Chains A and B, each alone.
Chain A
């Protein structure tokens, strides 16, 4: 057998992999639908049973019972809780999340309007966070126990232990108030600058596509601090997972064997260690996407960013339950779909996880 060893593990046939993953995808879809039904029911119970009656918030003070009953009927809140639940499910099935008390618009329209702003922060933050996190994790593992490892650990723990909204405020104090090199918390563009014609939804890209480099520059400057704060929340957990995965891989028998066979160090690292070490990072990327939602609530308010996070924040402060419910439901469904995709990604990458 000597001489027939290859550096790369033999790949399984593509057709077999596809069939196995497709079977799993069907099962996952069923499970995901069940969980989404649970999520919908749970939020319904919280908002309709636990939360106080919303009618008091909607009618003018001192309104008579007739007005109250009319509003109740209009909102579909007059029947029994079971019939309300039925009506709610029917509306949801048609993509109707209800009407916001605050904006008087359908919640789904409100969320769609604000989503591009959130995405403009989330996408660059995710790219930076994932790249930085995996990079630092690998460096820490390779330099385990040395200065670089310790330094990365300090930075990572500090990033994890820091409340994002506080970091945002402190960065504003430093870079906007004291140094004056970055713009203040005034949203996506300074007042008086018209947004570029919508093509992608990202102001920076749209302005570039329209050939307006000045607006693109202004929009990019507004992005720097909020993206930095979000990326800070994303890279730290990825660093920890990438480091421990890589440390484990470097200690493994297959890396020792490959090294003993005399494969070049660089090749052992990339073809053997890294492939296995970075598998758990897939989950962490999904966590990063989830954090983009959570972080949006904490960060968008600080920077006056008109995304779905700020919408949810206003909804909380005004007890606007349809808006809040719609936002949380939206986030949960994205979460469920994302984790189902993560499971499939694992199954595609690693046959051992297909049980």
Chain B
């Protein structure tokens, strides 16, 4: 991660640039969706029901006559925000636990790794589904659950990195210079272990975007009635003739997920060159 965006641009392959551009577009759409939509996304009857996409309603209207474009735009913030926060949370908590397990080893490491193994034995979406069903729908619950389910991946990665570097000379030197173990871990070992985590996080975010919308689709997402792409698609499920109700929110998920995949692939490609 270099400081200047220009440098980042020059040093990454085409796929990463395309991904970054897509991500910027989605961020702008999320921001716009918060401030302005052509119609109120939560109000039915702004047009006739089941209008096909046209000049007045770009993405058409749903069974209640709500404007699909306004709903899709308003939902952008929800899905982008959920994905980014869940990934950041998993990154942070998984990073700390993994670093601790990798550096100190012993029974802490043993316990953390056994719990990780158990969590990774569940197909991730099914575990998330069970947990949200148990905790109840809601924005915070979905974020916590998705982060929790994604956490083991980060934990294992950083644990392996820290474990490998623990015995390196720069770590020994820092200890001999009078630093505490925790200080060396935080200031030297963790920063040196982050690179593989960044590309993993990007690819993981692509997957998280799909999990978040899947939870919405099967009815264990955020509060019912809030705009979210997955639950919008579920709303259009019973109307296969009016494809546009599901098409556009699905394209939103596709774009978000693609953006993260491209950035993740780009970072991997850069590192392999």
Contacts and interface: CB of A to CB of B under 8 A. Distances in A.
Interface of A: 34-36, 38-39, 42-43, 46-47, 50-52, 153, 157-158, 160-163, 165-166, 169-170, 172-173, 176-177, 184-185, 290-291, 293-294, 297-298, 301-302, 312-313, 316-317, 319, 321, 324-325, 327-328, 331-332, 335-336, 339
Given A166-B250, A170-B250, A294-B124, 13 more contacts: A39-B121, A39-B122, A160-B257, A160-B261, A161-B258, A162-B250, A163-B214, A165-B214, A166-B246, A173-B240, A294-B125, A328-B126, A331-B123
A316 B126 contact: no
Contacts of A177: 240-241, 243
B127 A170 contact: no
Given A169-B240, A324-B130, A163 B117 contact: no
Contacts of A298: 125, 214, 217-218
A163 B237 contact: no
Contacts of A335: 121-123
B241 A297 contact: no
A40 B134 CA distance: 16
Contacts of A161: 206, 209-210, 253-254, 257-258, 261
Contacts of A158: 254, 258
B176 interface: no
B240 A172 contact: yes
B233 A169 contact: yes
Contact of A297 (B117, B125, B250, B262): B125
Contact of A163 (B115, B210, B243, B261): B210
B117 A38 contact: yes
| Interface size, B (range) | 35 or more
B230 interface: yes
A144 to B, nearest CB: 12
B266 to A, nearest CB: 11
Contact of A157 (B118, B230, B253, B262): B262
B131 interface: yes
Contact of A173 (B15, B206, B243): B243
B213 interface: yes
B132 to A, nearest CB: 9
A172 B246 CA distance: 12
B118 A39 contact: yes
Given A161-B257, A302-B237, A316-B133, A170 B117 contact: no
B154 to A, nearest CB: 19
A47 B233 contact: no
A290 B123 contact: yes
B134 A46 contact: yes
Nearest to A315: B133
Contacts of B134: 46-47, 50-52, 321
Interface of B: 15, 114-115, 117-119, 121-127, 129-131, 133-136, 206, 209-210, 213-214, 217-220, 230, 233, 236-237, 240-241, 243, 246-247, 250, 253-254, 257-258, 261-262, 265
Contact of B258 (A43, A46, A157): A157
Nearest to A176: B240
A43 B129 CA distance: 12
Nearest to A290: B123
A34 B114 CA distance: 9
Contacts of A163: 210, 213-214, 217, 230, 233, 250, 253-254
A207 B213 CA distance: 38
A239 B262 CA distance: 16
**Residue of A165, A172, A184, A316 with most partner-chain B CB within 10 A:** A165
B163 to A, nearest CB: 16
Given A316-B220, A335-B123, A165 B118 contact: no
B265 A332 contact: no
A294 B250 contact: no
A169 B126 contact: no
B215 to A, nearest CB: 10
A160 B217 CA distance: 18
B130 A328 contact: yes
Contacts of A336: 121
A344 B235 CA distance: 45
Given A157-B265, A324-B133, A328-B126, A170 B246 contact: yes
B118 A38 contact: yes
A164 to B, nearest CB: 8
Nearest to B114: A38
B129 A297 contact: yes
Contacts of A317: 218-219
Contacts of B131: 46, 50
Contacts of A169: 233, 236-237, 240, 243, 246, 250
Contacts of B262: 157
A316 B215 CA distance: 11
B152 to A, nearest CB: 13
Contacts of B122: 39, 328, 331-332, 335
A254 to B, nearest CB: 20
Top 8 nearest A-B pairs (CB, nearest first) are A38-B118, A161-B257, A166-B250, A51-B134, A173-B243, A161-B258, A50-B134, A294-B125
Contacts of B219: 316-317
B199 to A, nearest CB: 13
B251 to A, nearest CB: 9
Contacts of A170: 243, 246-247, 250
A327 B126 contact: yes
30 contacts: A38-B114, A38-B115, A38-B121, A39-B118, A47-B130, A50-B131, A51-B135, A52-B134, A160-B206, A160-B261, A163-B210, A163-B230, A163-B250, A163-B253, A165-B214, A166-B253, A169-B233, A169-B237, A170-B246, A173-B241, A173-B247, A177-B243, A184-B240, A294-B125, A301-B218, A316-B219, A324-B133, A325-B130, A332-B122, A336-B121
